[in-house]
Amino acid sequence: MCNLVVINEVEVELEVVADQAYTTSLSVASVFNKRHDHIIAKIRELPQDDFTAPNFRVSEYKDKSGRKLPMYQITKDGLVLLAMGFTGEKAYKFKVEYIKAFNAMAEEIKRLKFEKYINEVANLNACLIDKAKRHQREIAGYKGQITQHNTLITSLRKDLALARANPQASQDLQRAYDRLKRDWDGLAKDWNGLTSEYMAVCKERNELKKEIDKRKYNQDKITETILALDKIQKHLDPVYTALGAVMAYASDNDRFFMERNEILR
C-alpha cells in the first residue's frame, strides 16, 4: 500500500511494508533541499545498532541513466532522528508535515487492519454457521436412518418371537436380518463417525445376529423338542380333563364330568 502526500511542493510517497510506513532518503533530500549523497552520508554516520537497523533499511534505485544507486527506506522514528540536525523555520515546518503524514498513514494502517480483522471474523462466523447447519443436516439424516433401523430391529424382534413359537419361521427371520444388514452396511459406509445411537443399534444388531446363529445351529434340536412336547401335550390333555372333573366333584359335588371321563371309569 502506498500513499502520496505533498510536502514543500514535493510528492512524497509513503510505502507500507509489513504494517510499517516508510519514506525514502530521496524524498527526504528533496523535501529538505539537501543533496542525496549528503543524506546518505549522514545516515551512515549514525551508530549501527538495533535502532538504526530497522529504521534505516538499505535499498537501491535507478537514476536517469539506469544506474543502480543506494538509498534508504526510512521509518517515522528514523526521520525524526535524521532531521534533528535540520534547523530553521522551514525545516521545522517540513518535519511537522512529514510526521503528520506518517501519523495519518499509521491511522490508515490501523483502520485497514481492523477492517480486515472484522471481515475475517465475519467470514469465520459465516463459515462456522454454514458448517454447523451442514452438520445439523447430516445429524438429522443420520438420526432418520437410525430411526429406520430401529424400526427394522423392532420388526426383527417380532420375527424372532414368531420363530421361537414356530421353528419354520427361522427362514423369514434370516431374511429380515439380511435385509437389516444390507441397509445397515449402506449406512455405515456414509457415516464416518460412531455416535451413541450407532453404537446402541450396532450392539443390538450383533445380539440379534448371535440369537439367529444360535437358533440356526440348534434348529434340529428345537424341532425335535417341540414335536416331543406336542406328543406329551396330547397325552396330558385327557389328564387335565380328568383333573377338572375331580375338582368339579370335590368343590361342587358335580359328578357329571367324572361319570363321562374315560380315565375315571
Specify if 154 maps to a domain: yes
Task: Give the pLDDT mean for 168-193.
Answer: 64
Specify if 69 maps to a domain: yes
Tell me: the pLDDT tens digits for 196-254? 655 655 566 566 656 656 655 655 665 565 566 556 666 656 665 666 666 666 766 76
Residue 247's pLDDT is 64
Please tell me whether residue 68 adopts helix, strand or coil conformation. strand
Residue 157's pLDDT is 73
pLDDT of 191 above 90: no
Residue 33's pLDDT is 92
Task: Give the pLDDT mean for 103-117.
Answer: 87
- Taking the C-alpha atoms of residue 66 and residue 63, their distance in angstroms, rounded to an integer, is 5
Residue 16's pLDDT is 87
Query: In 10 A of CB 56, how many CB atoms?
Result: 23
pLDDT of 61 above 90: yes
Residue 158's pLDDT is 76
Residue that is written with C-alpha cell 418371537 in the block: 161
- Taking the C-alpha atoms of residue 211 and residue 244, their distance in angstroms, rounded to an integer, is 39
More confident residue, 157 or 81: 81
- CATH number of the domain that residue 187 is part of: 1.20.58
Q: Do 254 and 194 reside in the same domain of the chain?
A: no
Specify if 108 maps to a domain: no
- Taking the C-alpha atoms of residue 198 and residue 265, their distance in angstroms, rounded to an integer, is 66
Q: Do 79 and 14 reside in the same domain of the chain?
A: yes
- Taking the C-alpha atoms of residue 255 and residue 248, their distance in angstroms, rounded to an integer, is 8
Strand ranges across the sheet with 56-62: 2-7, 10-17, 20-24, 68-74, 56-62
Residue 192's pLDDT is 53
Domain-terminating residue out of 54, 69, 86: 86
Q: For the chain, how many structural domains are there in total?
A: 3
Write out the three cell numbers for 9: 511542493
Tell me: the pLDDT tens digits for 4-60? 778 877 888 888 888 899 999 999 999 999 999 999 999 999 999 999 999 999 999
Q: Do 140 and 209 reside in the same domain of the chain?
A: yes
- Domain carrying residue 250: 229-260
Residue 142's pLDDT is 73
3-state secondary structure 1-50: CEEEEEECCEEEEEEEECCEEEEEHHHHHHHCCCCHHHHHHHHHHCCCCC
Task: Give the pLDDT mean for 174-183.
Answer: 67
Lowest-confidence segment of 54-58, 126-130, 175-179, 195-199 by average pLDDT: 195-199
Specify if 97 maps to a domain: no
Residue 153's pLDDT is 75
Specify if 210 maps to a domain: yes
Q: Do 153 and 195 reside in the same domain of the chain?
A: yes
Q: Do 78 and 32 reside in the same domain of the chain?
A: yes
How much of the chain exceeds pLDDT 90, in percent?
Answer: 25
More confident residue, 164 or 200: 164
Mean per-residue pLDDT over the chain, rounded: 77
3-state secondary structure 201-213: HHHHHHHHHHHHH
Q: Do 34 and 71 reside in the same domain of the chain?
A: yes
Residue 150's pLDDT is 76
